[in-house]
Each structure stands twice: as structure tokens, then as C-alpha cells.
Structure 1
């Protein structure tokens, strides 16, 4: 199979030239355009998630040889979660080469976080199947860059920290209220209010509900610690 010029450029961006280019094509094929003769990337996504997990767990252990399991777990989650995969996918313009059905293209599928994150995992699996673990590990560490060494700040779970703050002061867990949703379906914007039992609250906006909740919790924590 010969790759298009676009896919050859994509190979250069990820730093891996495929001996079996059909693996790359499969990794970039979304279910919205699959058929009995054209498979999608779901099985590769499943495998890629596991390969990414092993690479990141190993990298974290190598980076901080004194960290406890309790310290490593949130760092690991921050590195392998869908948002992180989607960020890397945007970094390498993966959306440009995604193969999507018409409905997904019309709804902005090339920019959707879930689709980008899933496809990134599928590409990892494709590299693993094509070149082995060492090739996949090298690509992942290259693309994730300094995220492994700077993950401490990203791993701070603001919602958990806010809940612990409230409980330590005898308050009920904070509540999160969606006060608005705007924008088109393919690029929604959520505004969330995080509120404590005593009425203290903070608001934040983000492109995903979970991110908006985390941002609101972080804003409320910052306000509480400055008070």
C-alpha cells in the first residue's frame, strides 16, 4: 500500500516510517466511515491505551525513584487521560489526516477531543504493531516531551483537594452546577459554578464539562487560600 503525501508528512511528524502502512491507515479510520471491507481504529485504540500506560508508568518510575504509589497514581492519570492524548494529537495535527464519515466531518469531528484522543491511542498501537515496543516507546516519549517531568502541577486534582478542604472544616462536599452551555454541538462551551455549603462559590468556563468543573474548583480553592 502506498501512502498519500499527507500521510507521509504525518509519518515525519510522529517520527516513524511504517513498514506496514495499512496499520497507519487503520489507526486513522474512525468508525463513522468504516465498512465490512474497511475496518476502524477501535481495536487499535484499545491496545494503544495499554501501551501508553506501560510507557508512562515506566517513565514515571525512572524519573522519580522515591515517589510513592499514592504520588505516582495522579501523575500517571494526568499523562494518559483523554485530554492529554488529544493535546498531543493537536500538536502533531492528527485531525488533518483523520478519516471520518460525512456526519462527523460536518459536526467538526477533526477537532473533537474524544476523537483525537482515541485516534492518538490507535496510532500508538499501530506503531507498536509495526515496529515493536521500543519504537512505540520512543515515539511516545518524544511526543509527550517534558510532560513527564512537569506533570506534578497537572496532576493536582482540584475537585478532590476542594472536597478535602471542605470536609476538614466540617462542611458537606462541594456541588457543581452547570449554569450555561453555548456554542455549536461540535465545539460546546460549558460554564460551571463550584459552590460550598457556606455559599462560597467560583465560576469557570471550558470546552468540556469535566474541565470546567476542575477549573471552577481550582478557582474556588485559590480564592479560599487567599482569603
Structure 2
């Protein structure tokens, strides 16, 4: 990935990474990392970032829903499920214009067009921003990204 692509992604996310390797890892799917590894190149994939990003996203969305008037566990759970489902997260990356870049090494097979891959990458990006900038930074970004869906 060239510096212009990285700059474009950062601009679309609204966050400039101090450690660009975190961004690259968030965009690298497991198959692509394996391919690079087989060619003797060191490459980490997004898998663990997806798990971390999912947990962070759940916490932030739950807090935002409480702040915006959800008062029962049931209402929080129902609304949070809608906000964090594959379609919503995938559409976020499409809207940001990041979808065409997803799946480093796998674009030839169209992985960047699959909703599940976009949703997983969204979660990985949440983790990457968290690791690079901290909880307050990712909270501000998630709030910005989801504000029109929550209000």
C-alpha cells in the first residue's frame, strides 16, 4: 500500500495514525497475510484486532445508547444489535470510501465487496485506532460515525 492510499484512508476515517503498521494490520485479511508469509515476508493479519474492535465497539455503543435515552437492557441490546450488524458496519466503510481498499492481497477475488469482510475490517479499524490513539479518541470517532444512526 502506498503512502497516498494510507493518507486517503486516514482522511476518510478522520484519524492520523502515529503507527501506520496498525492501520495496515487492520486492513490485512488472514489469507493475504498467509500469502505474504509464504513469500518470506512478515505480515500480521486483522484477526485479533477484529475481536478487540468488536468488544470496544460494543462498549462505546452501549454507552452512547444509554446517553441517548435507552433505559432498559432490552432496548439497549435491540438497538445495539442493529447498529453493529454486518450490513451497518459494511455500509459505514462503503460510505467512508474505504471499501475498495479492504482485503490487501485479496482484492482480485472481490473480498472488498463482501459485507462480512467489510464489517470485520470495520471492527479491526476500531481496534487499530484504539491501540494507536486510546479509548477517548476511538470513542469520539465512533460517536461521530454513529451519531446519525443513534439520534
Instruction: Please say whether Structure 1 and Structure 2 have the same fold, judged by a TM-score greater than 0.5.
Output: yes
Match of 2:82 in 1: 78
Three-state SS of the structure 1 residue aligned to 2:107 is: helix
The alignment covers a number of residue pairs equal to 145
Match of 1:140 in 2: 142
Give the drift of 1:11: 0.3
Tell me, yes or no, if structure 1 residue 112 matches structure 2 residue 111: no
Match of 2:46 in 1: 41
Tell me, yes or no, if structure 1 residue 62 matches structure 2 residue 67: yes
Match of 1:89 in 2: 93
Give the drift of 1:88: 0.6
Residue of structure 1 aligned with 2:58, choices 53, 77, 80: 53
> What is the CA–CA distance in structure 1 between the aligned matches of 2:148 and 2:99, rounded to whole Å?
23
Compare relative contact order (CA 8 Å, sep 6+) and give the higher one, 1 or 2: 2
* Richer in strand (by share): 1
* Richer in helix (by share): 2
Tell me, yes or no, if structure 1 residue 9 matches structure 2 residue 11: no
Give the drift of 1:109: 1.0
Determine if contact 2:29/2:46 at 8 Å carries over to the other structure. yes
Q: Which runs of no fewer than 5 residues in structure 1 stay unpaired?
A: 150-227
1:59-105 Cα shifts (integer Å, max 9, x gaps): 0000005x22222210011111222111111111222222433xx43
Determine if contact 1:32/1:100 at 8 Å carries over to the other structure. no
Determine if contact 2:25/2:45 at 8 Å carries over to the other structure. yes
Give the drift of 1:127: 0.3
> What is the CA–CA distance in structure 2 between the aligned matches of 1:124 and 1:142, rounded to whole Å?
13
> What is the CA–CA distance in structure 2 between the aligned matches of 1:145 and 1:46, rounded to whole Å?
23
Give the drift of 1:3: 5.9
Tell me, yes or no, if structure 1 residue 20 matches structure 2 residue 19: yes
Give the drift of 1:120: 0.5
Tell me, yes or no, if structure 1 residue 29 matches structure 2 residue 28: yes
1:136-156 Cα shifts (integer Å, max 9, x gaps): 11111111231012xxxxxxx
> What is the CA–CA distance in structure 2 between the aligned matches of 1:116 and 1:30, rounded to whole Å?
10
Determine if contact 1:44/1:123 at 8 Å carries over to the other structure. yes
**Structure 1 outlier segments of 4+, above 3 Å:** none
